[in-house]
Amino acid sequence: METLHVLVVDDEPGIRSGIIRVLGRHTVGYPFMEEDFTFELHEAESGEKAIEILESTSIDIVLLDNKLPGISGIEVLEYIKEKNFDVSVMMITSYASLDLAVKAINNGAYNFVPKPFTPEELKGAIESIAKNLYLKRMTREMNREGREAKFQFLSVLSHELKSPLNAIEGYLRIMSDRQAGNNLEDYDAMIDRSMERIKGMRSLIMDLLDLTRIENGSKQRRIVKNDIIDIIRASVQMFEPMAEQRHIKMELISPDELYLLSDKDECSIIINNLISNAIKYNKDFGKVTCTVRKEKGKISISVSDTGVGMSEEEKALLFQDFVRIKNEKTRNIAGSGLGLSIVKKLVEMNEGNIEVESYPDKGTTFTVCFAE
């Protein structure tokens, strides 16, 4: 349970003890919060004392009377604003003129409770201020995490872009030094690997463009009725040569046509990614099966392969940026590590969901579901 520290600033001992009695046993909870708030009360009989406590204790909420013996409540408020303390202030005062209210709000007071007040009014006011405080802090936290995530993304990205360059540079150096002798054929494998790394880098850049367009929403979406089977056929055709090279059979099991309200480009990206993965992570002489079904108002598209499959731990990592399943079976497969994270984002944008079923050495099935 989280505790909020409340400082009550009032020169009337009766008011202070009243507030402490009411709030000391009170808790506040909201459905969106993991834990309830409880309150720990501190008291000050003057503005000077309040400042002393604010300087030495971490206070979350101040209940502040304006009419105090020394410096006024407004002056305490100004001090809090000047020092940039992370506290929410609620003014409690009996002589609230409009002038004072404006001044207080300008100085960052959260709201006003006129004196005298009932315990219920006090509880209501403290609940709203606690909620506000919580949301303010959460927002700040989320902004900070967003920045960190962006930095993390960029540093991983530069690493991913640099690795293929290093590999290709290394091969070129070996070739230029003739490290494997003067026979050109002895360098064939290195040339192939260099080409493969260039291909991987290109696909990373393409994926990155997709991802950027999705994330900043700059891509114009055209939501119309698209024949999803048509899109899948085009994708199967596009990947046929890649599959043939490794003697992988491709099969489409579906109705002749099936319309889905969607953006055509987005559908293509989703399907292309799933099919190209199914080929890349397949075994030679394997099979890719694409099954499209319509049932109970849902359209489901499954892409199955007969490939290397994944363990449960590997499955858990799948949809994150730059995660690639690395093991001895996938070692030489090029990829950006962004494909599935793009797929997931797009599927969710279209209010669909994606599931994966996989067994090591047997194969993997990705299933995407959309409401019709």
Partner 1 sequence: MKEKLNKTVLIADDDNDLLFQLKLNLENMGFDVMEAHGQKEAEGIMSENKPDLAIFDLIMENQDSGFVLAYKMKNKYPETPVIIATAVTAETGMVFGIETEADKNWIKADIYIEKNIRPDQLRREVFKLLKL
> Given the rule CB under 8 A, which residues bind partner 1?
155, 158-159, 162-163, 165-167, 169-171, 173-174, 177, 179-180, 193, 197, 326, 328, 331-332
Query: Minimum distance from CB of 167 to partner 1 (Å)?
Result: 4
Query: Minimum distance from CB of 29 to partner 1 (Å)?
Result: 38
Q: Closer to partner 1 by CB, 173 or 202: give it.
A: 173
Q: Closer to partner 1 by CB, 185 or 328: give it.
A: 328
89 with 50: CB under 8 angstroms?
A: no
Q: Where do we find the tokens 């009419």?
A: 67
Q: Closer to partner 1 by CB, 39 or 187: give it.
A: 187
From the number of C-beta atoms within 10 Å of its C-beta (0-12, 13-18, 19+), residue 353 rates as middle
Query: Minimum distance from CB of 305 to partner 1 (Å)?
Result: 22
- Residues 6 or more apart whose Cβ sits within 8 Å of residue 133: 4, 60, 61, 88
Q: Closer to partner 1 by CB, 96 or 333: give it.
A: 333
Strands of the chain, DSSP E: 2-9, 27-28, 37-44, 61-64, 88-93, 109-114, 223-227, 249-253, 259-263, 287-295, 298-305, 353-359, 363-371
Pull the structure tokens for residue 342: 């793009």
Q: Closer to partner 1 by CB, 82 or 313: give it.
A: 313
Q: CA-to-CA distance for 348 and 345, rounded, in angstroms?
A: 5
303 with 288: CB under 8 angstroms?
A: yes
Query: Minimum distance from CB of 283 to partner 1 (Å)?
Result: 18
Query: Minimum distance from CB of 157 to partner 1 (Å)?
Result: 9
Q: Closer to partner 1 by CB, 158 or 311: give it.
A: 158
DSSP state of 337: S
Query: Minimum distance from CB of 32 to partner 1 (Å)?
Result: 32
Q: CA-to-CA distance for 129 and 135, rounded, in angstroms?
A: 10
110 with 89: CB under 8 angstroms?
A: yes
190 with 172: CB under 8 angstroms?
A: no
**Position 140, amino acid:** R
Q: Closer to partner 1 by CB, 177 or 351: give it.
A: 177
CA gyration radius for the chain? 32
Q: Closer to partner 1 by CB, 164 or 352: give it.
A: 164
Query: Minimum distance from CB of 331 to partner 1 (Å)?
Result: 5
Pull the structure tokens for residue 160: 């991913």
Strands of 60-176, DSSP E: 61-64, 88-93, 109-114
50 with 8: CB under 8 angstroms?
A: no
